[in-house]
Amino acid sequence: DVKVTQSSRYLVKRTGEKVFLECVQDMDHENMFWYRQDPGLGLRLIYFSYDVKMKEKGDIPEGYSVSREKKERFSLILESASTNQTSMYLCASLRGGGGSYEQYFGPGTRLTVT
Amino acid sequence: GENVEQHPSTLSVQEGDSAVIKCTYSDSASNYFPWYKQELGKGPQLIIDIRSNVGEKKDQRIAVTLNKTAKHFSLHITETQPEDSAVYFCAASAGGADGLTFGKGTHLIIQP
């Protein structure tokens, strides 16, 4: 089974702190994604990556950056956390090619910024 | 960009009855339409998907229909069971390896 793990299930940070959310997948997938999930808004795409050192902006990239130095790891960075970034963050991975478009999600990190 | 609308936001059905969740999309270039189920405390998991060259797809009690002309697609669950209680998301994409645009979700409640 594909496994996508996220470094923390719960995280509490202060306004202005730099925050790193880590995601690791163990199936050698090319594509990885970061979404945020908010009540009544569903999941919204922040950034995605096709390959190592490649990144593409999603629908709501403002206030975030990403890093993909290794194929299995995709990090989401909040340079200066703000209270409006309090949310559930979900990482996903996708093999790419081969006809399957299934995205595999991690369990999520619930981030609270105070 | 793509916009996906999903209805209803909450759906309560009696165990054994059918449930239908509907979505519309705006971008005619979208060609991939998955449905995800999210249980409490877990990430979403794909339950069924359909591509734009197919009108209907079934997998046991679950089926998805797609009307490309009207730009809408629906999830049908028959003979609902307690374990079907969850939040369901529809999504759309113009390319499978791109990110998905999700609907806002439907909280499905199965009443015993």
Query: How does pLDDT run across B91-109, given as a tens digit for each residue?
Result: 999 876 778 899 999 999 9
At A48 the pLDDT is: 94
Q: pLDDT tens-digit profile of A9-62?
A: 999 999 999 999 999 999 899 999 999 999 989 999 999 998 898 999 999 999
Judge: A105–B44 Cβ closer than 8 Å, yes or no: yes
Main-chain dihedrals φ then ψ at residue B57, nearest 5 degrees: -145, 140
**CB contact set of A84 (below 8 Å; sequence gap of 6+):** none
Asked whether the beta carbons of B109 and B12 are under 8 A apart, the reply is yes
Asked whether the beta carbons of A51 and A29 are under 8 A apart, the reply is no
Best B101, B106, B107 residue to mutate vs chain A (most A CBs within 10 Å)? B101
Higher pLDDT, A99 or B53: B53
How many percent of chain A have pLDDT more than 90?
Answer: 82
CA nearest to A31 within chain B: B97
Chain A interface includes B93 (CB < 8 A):
yes
Higher pLDDT, B63 or B54: B63
For residue A2, pLDDT over 70 is answered with no
Give SS3 for B83.
helix
Main-chain dihedrals φ then ψ at residue A84, nearest 5 degrees: -75, 0
At A8 the pLDDT is: 92
Partnered with residue B88 across adjacent β-strands are B37, B106
Main-chain dihedrals φ then ψ at residue B82, nearest 5 degrees: -55, -35
Nearest C-alpha neighbor of A43 from the set B102, B4, B3, B98: B102
Q: pLDDT tens-digit profile of B64-85?
A: 999 999 999 999 999 999 999 9
Angle at B80 between CA B79 and CA B83, to 5 degrees: 140
How many percent of chain B have pLDDT more than 70?
Answer: 99
- Report the distance separating Cα A96 and Cα A33, nearest Å: 12
